[in-house]
Structure formats: structure tokens, C-alpha cells
Structure 1
Amino acid sequence: MTDTTTFPDPTYRDTVLAPLFEGVKAHFAADMARINRAHLVMLAETGILQPSKAVDLARALHRIETEVDIPALTYTGEHEDYFFLVEAELKRRLGDLGGALHTARSRNDMDHTLFKLALQPRAEAMLDALRGLADALIEKANTEAETLVVAYTHGQPAQPTTFGHYLAAAIEVLLRDIARLEQAMDGLDHCPMGAAAITTSGFPVDRHRVAELLGFSEPLLNSYGCIASVDYVTGLYSALKLPFLHLGRLIQDMAFWSSFEVGQLYVPNALVQISSIMPQKRNPVPIEHMRHLASVTAGRCDTIVNTMHNTPFTDMNDSEGEVQQAGFAAFDSGGRVIALLTAFLPACSINADRVQANTDAACITITELADTLVRDEGLSFRQAHEVAAATARAVIAAGQPLRAGYSAFAEAFCAETGQPTTLGEAAFADAVSASSFVEKRNRPGGPAPEALETALTGYASTLSRFSETALARKRRRAGADRALDTAFAKLMES
């Protein structure tokens, strides 16, 4: 049977090739030009290409970059993709020499290099934003170090702590999330160029030189892995998902804390919307937007990771253009969450009256009363727990705050132990004071001012180290850009 069809089939053109072409225009064309330049410099420096041929190619590449209006290009199907369009332009200007640029490389190693180059600035921007959030939370935690709040467990009032102590817990998780993203950055910092299709090349390529010119720390070693091991994708999006999963829990607490029934978090008017029909409503809807955007971001990360599931361990389109572009949306929605949360939390404040009312209503300092009975009265903790529980039941039934429950306590103590308490009213009042509760918890990681100050100082130091690492990485890449420009300009002038 004679096949009279010609490539590309119109449907394949419109559903696959044209969208991919548009994606390259939007996201990858500039980095493809960098790869072309770096590869050509290496070919010339290693003698793989004769100097005169390298000069002609350099000048032609420069003219193409200058003369071709990439945004105005429309996919016609004349060339399979943007790579072949550039090669066709080289051949049109230089004849057969135009095909020499592709010596000792493949679209396989080029593609994964392109994808890493496109992910690097997005990941750096996300790290910048997360460090900015961490810095804002550290500042807020220092400001709110002595601001009492009700801490909840299982959705119920549990114990007093401070807003600063609560934020410190979130800061620790955020710093660990930043560390995981930093580790994922290492996967983006190793260059696939020189792997060619699968097994490197018979030409004496200098893989380190290309990696250096493109701003990578070094080549990715195994050439098969360069085109098959897409763990730089799965590792990055796995790490990217976690801040939004974890921050989503913090955001949900903000919804609970700002509810009418709890009311301990005050959201300022600038971040509150009204109801179109109910004039009494104050709706802190930014919380809802942060919550759903965090979930959308986590879902987008899962989409990319799950697309890699059960794919063959080889070069494949499942990890390439369309999937890479889909992943960029996670950075967009995630960036919006971080920007909004960085503005939102510092603007909020704690409603001290509601904290006091909830503290009184729920007897949340009762744990310290039990602890005091163990220390000062010599009771076992179980005995102390029974006395404290009876006291709490009595004051709650009477509608009294715990600080007014000394007589109920004395009665419960005598009923449990058969003797009167030696704890006076002043000592009782201190034992059930929320501020005293916090001050006594000066163990490492506790909410007392000294312990919290030590922790926050440590967090700031960790954050500073992350910033220094990122700055060094950015300086290296900026230096590589300058080195590539210099080497390419020198080549053109030879």
C-alpha cells in the first residue's frame, strides 16, 4: 500500500504541534538561544568546529536573534517545531554549514536543559517569596511575643499561649519547607548538555564548559539519566506542594479564629468584604481565596508529579513541553497565595477581650493549677487532675471565670485529699493566670518570652543562611551570562 500522506496531519498540527510552538515562543525561545550560543562556543574552543565555520555560525545566530520577530511567528507546519525553524534559518543563510551547529548534541539533552533553565527563575522567585513570608512572620512573632491567645486542640479551647509562639510553630515548618525547596534546586543546577540522545558523543565535548556558560553548577553525570531521570521535575513539584499544604492549615486556623463565635483574630477593614444583603456581616474573604489558591497550587503540583507515574525510564514527551508549561501555573497561583498571606497576617491583630472571654469560659489555665498542686501540695498528678477537673466543672456550672473559683477549688481539694489546701487565694490566682501560665513555660520551644526570643533569633539566622545561598547562586548565574556574552562576542569578532 502506498502512503500518500504528508506530515503534519492537520489535526495533529492543531492539537499538538501548534500549541507546543506557542509554548516555546512564550517560555523557551530565549533559553534555546543561550544553549545555541554556549554549545557553539564549546564546539569552537574544543576544535570540534573549525574557527572560520564557528565564526560564520555565530554571526548567523546573532542575525537570526536580531531579525526574527519571535512573538509574531505563527505555526504553519512547514517546520516540525521551533528548533527546526532555527536550523532552517541557519541553512538558508549558510547552506549545509547551518546544520553543523547540531554536532554532538540532540534535542533530548537540549530539551531537559531548556526545562531546567525555565524552572530556575520560577523556583528562585518562589524561594524569594517564601523567605519574604518567613521574614514577615518572624517580625510579627517578635511583635506579638507577649500577646495572649487561646490555643485549640481537636477544635476545643486547650491552653493559653501567645500569638508569637503560635506563629513560631508556623515559621519552623516554613523554614523546613524552604530547605526542601533548596534541596530540589540542586536538581535544577546540573546540566544535561553533552548527553546528546542517550550516551554522550564520540566528539570530545567539554560538558563542564557548557554547564559553566549556562550558569549550572556542573553537568549531570550519567548521560542516560540526563534524558530519562526526570526527578528534577518530581522532586521540585513535590517540594513545591508542601508549603501550600502546610500554609493551608495555618490559613484554615485564620478562618476559625476570625469567626464570630471565636473572634480572637481581628481582620482589618481593608481585608474585609461586606454582604450585599446582610449589613452586619464582616467577611474576611481573603482567607477563603488563600485557602482555595493553596489547594489549587497543591493540586497542580500533584498533576505534574502524577503525570510521571508509570512512564518509561527513557526520553518521553510525558515530561516535556506541555507538561512543563502546565506546571508553571503552580508557581503563578502559589505566588499569589504567598503575596496575600505576607500582607494579610502582619495586618491582623488579636482581640484581647475575646481572648479573655474565651479563656474564662473554657478554664484553659486549669492545667497549671494541676501542676501547681503537684509541686506545692505534693499530690500525684492524677490526684491533682481530679481536683482541677472538679474545680473546672464547678466554675463552668456557676458561669464564673476560673480566677473566681477559689472556694470551689478548696472544696474539691478537701473532697479529694481529706484535708484542707495550703494554697492561698493569691497563689491560686497566680496558678490560674494566663500570663503566669505562659511565663512559667520557659523550656526550649515554649511560649515564655525568653524561650521564644531564643527561638526567633535562631529562625532569623537560618533564614539569613538561606538568603546567602540564594544570593550566591544568583551571582554565579549572572556571572555565567556575562561570560557567555563575552565568549560569543569574541567568537563573532574572530
Structure 2
Amino acid sequence: MPAVTSAPAAARPTSTPLADAGIPLGALDGRYRGVVAPLVEHLSEAALNRERVHVEVEWLLHLTRVVPGAPQPTEQDVATLRDLVEGFDADSVAELAATERETAHDVKAVEYYVARHLEGTSLEGAEALVHFCCTSEDVNNLAYALMVRGAVTQVWLPAATALVDALADLARASAEVPMLARTHGQPATPTTLGKELAVLAHRLRRQLRRVQGAEYLGKINGATGTFGAHVVALPDVDWPAVGRTFVEHLGLTWNPLTTQIESHDWQAELYADLARFNRVLHNLCTDVWSYVSVGYFRQQLGAHGSTGSSTMPHKVNPIRFENAEANLEVSNALLDVLASTLTTSRLQRDLTDSSMQRNIGTAVGHSLLAVDNVRRGLAGLDVAEDVMARDLDATWEVLGEAVQSVMRAQAVAGVPGMDEPYERVKELTRGRRVDGPAMHEFVAGLGLPDDVAARLAALTPATYTGLASRLVDELG
């Protein structure tokens, strides 16, 4: 892979007071650093170099069991080499950066870095085995797979799962709280708050299962995926088997057919699933924002601070959900472009994926930030059952659906006078507010059997929620 290096000194901007003070350029490394800091361990440039070292060390150790005449490392040698990865720290970053300034090539610098640390081990003098038969992408594709797997499984998934669990808990707690539904923004058949939250939790969990089932693919088959150098160097070795066992040793899935690069299709699949989770979460944000707007949720003052507006002191703004919306949109813009561009490489290799993959951390970071905001936002909500009850009591017209459905069932059963049920209810309710007495009077005049009429007379908007509360149990 061509080198990706820092700009030459002549091309750098002149120093400024802010630049010299180390002020971060972006929000993730500035205002929101505390939330996304765990991702630095996995998706930063330093993490990329650590995983490159990891791949080079493990490949070297793997080759000692494959290449005839290779020196055999002692247990202490293995521990020493693996400590290059486990102990990778700021000093390691600085040493590697100094090497890269000499090589002007990032992966070559990693090769020299590992080779230099063979001194004092049984492998000293076997530096030729470091990066043996590898193109840069053999190292990079495996490093990125390890990085992304770590970020997703150790940081993003636990945070997202905790959020969905909190949402499911809120759904269960409010499973029986009746709420006026609003289809097209208009009063509609009542539901329960818990059932509506359960729908979103169910959708989010499905996406989590897809992310949990992601495959992380890798290859180590040379400059054009043919094992050309391998076979010329050692023709008696079963190189595809060696490559497969090595990739699986790293805990990844072997991709046997590639060009110079691993095709990145697994990344596109994963980023599409993350983006879909983000979109469902965005839907949650807009719904909760709307419920706050109409008073169905009250926001706890302590959870949002004392300042809701710089000029209107009465306000408590739903800022957690608004912040999450914005970060989800930024995340998805990046995830979408990653998914759409990484699957294409001109002929056997171009370098667009190298620059593109350096944005993975930013994409996942904005999603993680949104997840954190939604979790904190939900924790700061109280259910306003009294407000929902008033809305329901003011909209008896929503029982029109129930009345005409009962009339249809009775018509099928042979009860006379049940003709044109929809049209008759429509005449009563269309575009009008109907109160309880008016609805009861209408039902009483329909000529329904006594038991059926009594069932409808007992129905209120607050009790017309069907199996909503029971459906929440589907969350498990």
C-alpha cells in the first residue's frame, strides 16, 4: 500500500496560539471526549498501529512453525513479542512515529519497529521473517478487522444494549398506561405508552442481533491475492491453509478470494446495520420529543440542568434527544458513505479505502454519543399519566371504530338494523369532537343486543386499548 504520511513541513500551516495549545479540531475530541474516549482504544491511529504490530508479531510467530529452518522462539520470546502489543503506549507511538519519519511509509515503519524488537530474543537474525510475503494490505485488512470488532463488541454494543434494556424497562413500567394514539398526527385508536415504546425497543433489539452476528473477514494472500511470492519462495507449503489458520487464529473469518485488498463487504454490511439501528433510534428521538411537546412526558429538572433557555427561564428543553438526532444524522452520513464506497476498488487495488477507513472512528463515535444522550434523556423523564388521561377523555370520537366494528359483527350474526355501520358512525364523528354522553346516546339507539350494548356502554377511550399491555410481554 502506498504510504500515508504527514504533510511535509513546507505544506503545514504556520503555528497559531490555538493550534500550539493543542485545541482539538472536532467535537468528538473536544466537547464530547469523555463519552467517546473508550473508542480511542480501538479506532484511533494509535490503535491502528498497535493492531498492525499485533498482526506482524502473530504472523512472525506463525511462520516459525511453517518456514523450514526458522528459529524457534522460547516462551519468554513469545511473551516479549506479544508485550509489544499489550504494552503499546505513548512511548511506543512516539518510537513508531520516529521510524515512520524515516520510512515515509506507515506499514514499513511497523515492520522495522517489530524487527528492531527481535534483538535479544531467539529470533534475532531472523528479521527476514517479519512481513514475509506480505503486502501492506495483508496487515491493514486484519488490523482494521480487529479494531472494528473490538470497538463494536467491547464499546458500542454494550452501550447500545444498555440503552435498549432501559427503554424496554420503561415500556414494561408503562405497559398499562393508556395513551391517545396519533396516526397522521390526528387522534386515533388509543394504545398504551408502554406498547409504543415496546415497538421501538423490539425494532432496536432486532438490529442489535444483526450487529451481534456480524462477521469480521480477513485475508493474507499477497499483492494480488494469488500467493505468488509465497509459492515461489516455498513451493511445498500449503499456503492457503497457512493463511486460513492464521486468520482464524486471530479470531476472524477467512476470505479465500480477494484482490490485493480484502473486499470490505463485511464492513459495508456492518455499517448498514449500525446505520439502521441509528435510524430506528432517530425515530425514538422524534417520538419522545413529540410526547414531551404535548406533555405526555415531564422532564426532571435535575436531569437537564437549570438553564433551558438563555432568555426564557421557564423552559426545560429536550436537549438530549435533539443532540442525539444531530449526532445520528452525522453518524449515518459517514456510515452510508463507508458502506457505499468500500465495496468498490478499481481493478486489483486503489487507495480510496485507506482514506475512507480512517473515518470509521468518527462514524461510530457520533453513534455512541447519540446512544449516551438518549440513555440519559430517558432517565430524565417522568410519565404524565394525568395529561394522557385528559386527552383521552376529550376524544370520545375515537370509539367510532369500536362501535362500527361491533355493528359489523352483529350484522354478520343476523341482528337487524346494523346496516351501513361505517357511514352512520362517520356521520356522528367525522371532524367533530364527541363527548361521553353523546357517544352513549348514539350506542343506546342502535338496537344492539343488551349484552353487547352494555359492553360498549362500559367502554371508554382509556379502556379501548385492546391487547396493548399484553403485547409488551413480547419483549421477553
When normalised by structure 1's length, the TM-score is 0.74
- Cα pair distance change 1:41/1:174, threshold 3 Å: same
**Deviation at residue 329 of structure 1 after TM alignment:** 1.0
**Residue type at the aligned position of 1:162:** T
Match 2:475 to one of 441, 445, 456: 456
2:63 is matched with which residue? 43
1:384 is matched with which residue? 421
**Deviation at residue 404 of structure 1 after TM alignment:** 5.0
Deviation track 1:352-381 (CA, whole Å, cap 9, x = no partner) reads: 222122223333232112222233464798
1:198 is matched with which residue? 225
CA distance in structure 2 between the aligned counterparts of 1:394 and 1:85, rounded to whole angstroms: 73
**Deviation at residue 231 of structure 1 after TM alignment:** 0.7
CA distance in structure 1 between the aligned counterparts of 2:289 and 2:328, rounded to whole angstroms: 14
CA distance in structure 2 between the aligned counterparts of 1:11 and 1:191, rounded to whole angstroms: 33
**Residue type at the aligned position of 2:94:** A
1:72 is matched with which residue? 94
Match 1:287 to one of 290, 311, 321: 321
Matches within 5 A, 1:91-240: 97-124=126-153, 125-183=155-213, 185-186=214-215, 188=216, 190-195=217-222, 197-200=224-227, 201-202=230-231, 203=234, 204=237, 205=239, 206-216=242-252, 218-222=253-257, 224=258, 227-240=261-274
Q: Please tell me whether the aligned partners of residues 238 and 305 of structure 1 are also in contact (alpha carbons under 8 angstroms).
A: yes
Percent identity of equivalent pairs: 19
- Cα pair distance change 1:219/1:93, threshold 3 Å: closer
CA distance in structure 1 between the aligned counterparts of 2:222 and 2:320, rounded to whole angstroms: 48
CA distance in structure 2 between the aligned counterparts of 1:8 and 1:292, rounded to whole angstroms: 32
2:25 is matched with which residue? none
When normalised by structure 2's length, the TM-score is 0.76
Q: Please tell me whether the aligned partners of residues 106 and 196 of structure 1 are also in contact (alpha carbons under 8 angstroms).
A: yes
**Deviation at residue 121 of structure 1 after TM alignment:** 1.0
The alignment of Structure 1 onto Structure 2 pairs a total of residues equal to: 417
1:29 is matched with which residue? 49
Q: Please tell me whether the aligned partners of residues 268 and 348 of structure 1 are also in contact (alpha carbons under 8 angstroms).
A: yes
CA distance in structure 2 between the aligned counterparts of 1:8 and 1:351, rounded to whole angstroms: 57
SS at match of 2:277: helix
CA distance in structure 2 between the aligned counterparts of 1:226 and 1:164, rounded to whole angstroms: 51
* Unaligned stretches of 5+ residues in structure 2: 13-42
2:281 is matched with which residue? 247
RMSD: 3.5
CA distance in structure 2 between the aligned counterparts of 1:381 and 1:120, rounded to whole angstroms: 63
SS at match of 1:357: helix
* Unaligned stretches of 5+ residues in structure 1: 1-6, 16-22, 414-419, 458-494
Q: Please tell me whether the aligned partners of residues 244 and 334 of structure 1 are also in contact (alpha carbons under 8 angstroms).
A: yes
More helix by share: 1
Q: Please tell me whether the aligned partners of residues 107 and 197 of structure 1 are also in contact (alpha carbons under 8 angstroms).
A: no
**Residue type at the aligned position of 1:456:** L
- Cα pair distance change 1:52/1:126, threshold 3 Å: closer
- Cα pair distance change 1:168/1:381, threshold 3 Å: farther
CA distance in structure 1 between the aligned counterparts of 2:112 and 2:63, rounded to whole angstroms: 20
- Cα pair distance change 1:403/1:343, threshold 3 Å: farther
CA distance in structure 2 between the aligned counterparts of 1:266 and 1:229, rounded to whole angstroms: 49
- Cα pair distance change 1:131/1:79, threshold 3 Å: same
**Deviation at residue 229 of structure 1 after TM alignment:** 1.3
